[in-house]
């Protein structure tokens, strides 16, 4: 039960649910997520930690960034995240988006 409890807890926050919906589209680094969500780096980082501990996402270093993506290896997570397909086209982005100080395009 605790496994599901952790997942529900993690998804029971609007910011984290938005992050999950974003990562369903494509893997992203903290900076990119912050661009869209619009809060501080530390806040995003904390949310990612919670999602990671719930087994919903994992991370992998690529170039100078750590890319976060949905974890497709855990059954419970797959099932629940799949349900969110019904939500396509929902407002994930925020009104007040901060400019990203470190533009990722500088690198690639």
Partner DNA sequence: CTTACATTTCGCCAAATGTAGAAATGTGAA
Partner DNA sequence: TTCACATTTCTACATTTGGCGAAATGTAAG
Q: Residues 86, 95, 17, 62: is their CA dihedral positive or negative? A: positive
Q: How far apart are CA 43 and CA 63, in angstroms?
A: 23
Nearer to DNA, 6 or 24 (CB): 6
Q: How far apart are CA 42 and CA 45, in angstroms?
A: 5
- Asked if residues 47 and 15 have their Cβ atoms less than 8 Å apart, the reply is yes
58 binds, among DNA, a second copy, none (CB under 5 to 8 A by kind): none
For residues 64 to 103, the per-residue mask of contacts with DNA, x marking binding by CB under 7 A and - elsewhere, is xxxx---------------------------------xx-
Which residues within the stretch 41-70 sit at the binding site for a second copy (CB under 8 A)? none
CB of 5 to a second copy, least distance (A): 6
For residues 16 to 35, the per-residue mask of contacts with a second copy, x marking binding by CB under 8 A and - elsewhere, is -xx--x--------------
Q: Which residues pair with 59 in a beta bridge?
A: 68
């Amino acid at each position: 039960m605790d496994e599901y409890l952790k997942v529900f807890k993690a998804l029971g926050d609007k910011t984290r649910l938005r992050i999950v919906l974003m990562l369903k589209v494509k893997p992203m680094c903290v900076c990119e997520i912050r661009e869209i969500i619009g809060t501080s780096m530390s806040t995003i980082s904390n949310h990612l930690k919670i999602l990671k501990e719930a087994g919903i996402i994992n991370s992998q270093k690529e170039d100078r960034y750590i890319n976060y993506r949905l974890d497709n290896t855990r059954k419970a997570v797959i099932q629940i995240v799949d349900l969110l397909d019904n939500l396509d086209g929902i407002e994930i982005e925020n009104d007040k988006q901060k400019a990203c100080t470190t533009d990722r395009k500088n690198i690639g």
